[in-house]
Amino acid sequence: MIEFAWPYVFLCLPLPWLVRQLIPLVDATRQAALKAPFLEELQTLPSTHRIAAPKPSLLWLAIVAWVLLVTAAARPQWLGEPIELAMSGRDLMMAVDLSGSMDIRDFKLNGQAVDRLTATKAVAGQFIDRRAGDRMGLILFGDRAYLQAPLTFDRKTVHTLLEESAIGLAGEKTAIGDAIGLAVKRLRDNPENQRILILLSDGANTAGEVQPLQAAELAVKEKLKIYTIGVGADEMVIRDFFGTRKVNPSEDLDEKTMTAIAEKTGGRYFRARDTEALDKIYAMLDELEPVEKDKRYFRPRSELFPWPLGMALSLASGVVLVRIKS
């Protein structure tokens, strides 16, 4: 939409008419009281023509030029679509396990069997998109923990980096303690009571330099709240040379340690046995750590006054040139 920054300038529109009414015109036909000794020579010259009245078309062009000039002075602006401002909410870091066991296809997505990481990407990606107002970060861990995305309001980039992650990218093992330690390091300088880590894993700590419970103690000192999510089905039917049999694909999941980490830091432990449960867990996280509701918006403005100003000057120049030649 278009709006005017200084709409009161339009009060100047009738100004030429007021000047015309208040200031009397000079009588162009009145003879000059000039005494000339060479009157006879002047009488032989062609008679001086009267100043011609402006043509109606020129008068209308002048009126249009004046209206455009006043319009430009009122500063017309184009207002774009409202854009949500990033609010200073929570500092929320996500740590996602990329170990080899995340390749187990015990989840279903849209009726198709998928691996654990693919299901995590689908659900966690929606969670990231909903966190307007929070600064999001991403840690990927396997043999070691790596900071994939520092804390940022750019949720789209964090989502993209999560989608680009691949199983085994950080190694085949699981360094849960190192992931927590890296999150503590990246969040310790941020405001207290707003530091949150969501840690998702399907196994036990099998690598790294820091034990998970030691890292949890450090998180408590730094006031980092950790929500842990254990992923993987409890039962899975597989086929081999001997036929079909049921196995527990999550037998390596260390739920005891994951629960202890969450309880120590004031968070909660969740168990995701399928995609629906994982989706519900992230919905519960939205309730436990709600997004800032006091959102602010701004509308980008583009100045439009050069257009009416340019047209007004062009029309005024044309009127002057025509009057000079006539």
User: Residue 132: inside a domain, yes or no?
Assistant: yes
Do 187 and 239 fall into the same domain? yes
CATH value at residue 165: 3.40.50.410
Asked if pLDDT for residue 234 goes beyond 60, the answer is yes
Do 234 and 268 fall into the same domain? yes
User: Residue 32: inside a domain, yes or no?
Assistant: no
Do 241 and 305 fall into the same domain? no
User: Residue 36: inside a domain, yes or no?
Assistant: no
d(CA 99, CA 143): 8
Do 314 and 226 fall into the same domain? no
Number of structural domains found in the chain: 2
User: Residue 45: inside a domain, yes or no?
Assistant: no
Do 102 and 250 fall into the same domain? yes
Do 264 and 185 fall into the same domain? yes
Q: Domain range holding 69?
A: 2-24+54-81+299-325
User: Residue 189: inside a domain, yes or no?
Assistant: yes
Do 134 and 282 fall into the same domain? yes
In this predicted model, what pLDDT tens digit does every residue of 117-166 receive, in sequence order? Answer: 999 999 999 999 888 778 899 999 999 999 999 999 889 999 999 999 99
Contacts of 203 (CB under 8 A, 6+ apart): 97, 99, 101, 174, 252, 253, 254
Do 173 and 304 fall into the same domain? no
pLDDT tier, 241 (very low <50, low <70, confident <90, very high otherwise): low
In this predicted model, which residue has the larger pLDDT, 88 or 137?
A: 137
Most confident region among 24-38, 80-94, 253-267 by mean pLDDT: 253-267
Q: What is residue 66's predicted lDDT score, i.e. its pLDDT?
A: 92
Do 66 and 186 fall into the same domain? no
Asked if pLDDT for residue 297 goes beyond 90, the answer is no
Do 104 and 76 fall into the same domain? no
Give the predicted TM-score (pTM) of the model.
0.63
Q: What is residue 147's predicted lDDT score, i.e. its pLDDT?
A: 94
- Residue whose C-alpha is closest to residue 258's, from 203, 194, 179, 182: 203
Do 223 and 311 fall into the same domain? no
Q: What percent of the chain has pLDDT over 70?
A: 81
Do 316 and 205 fall into the same domain? no
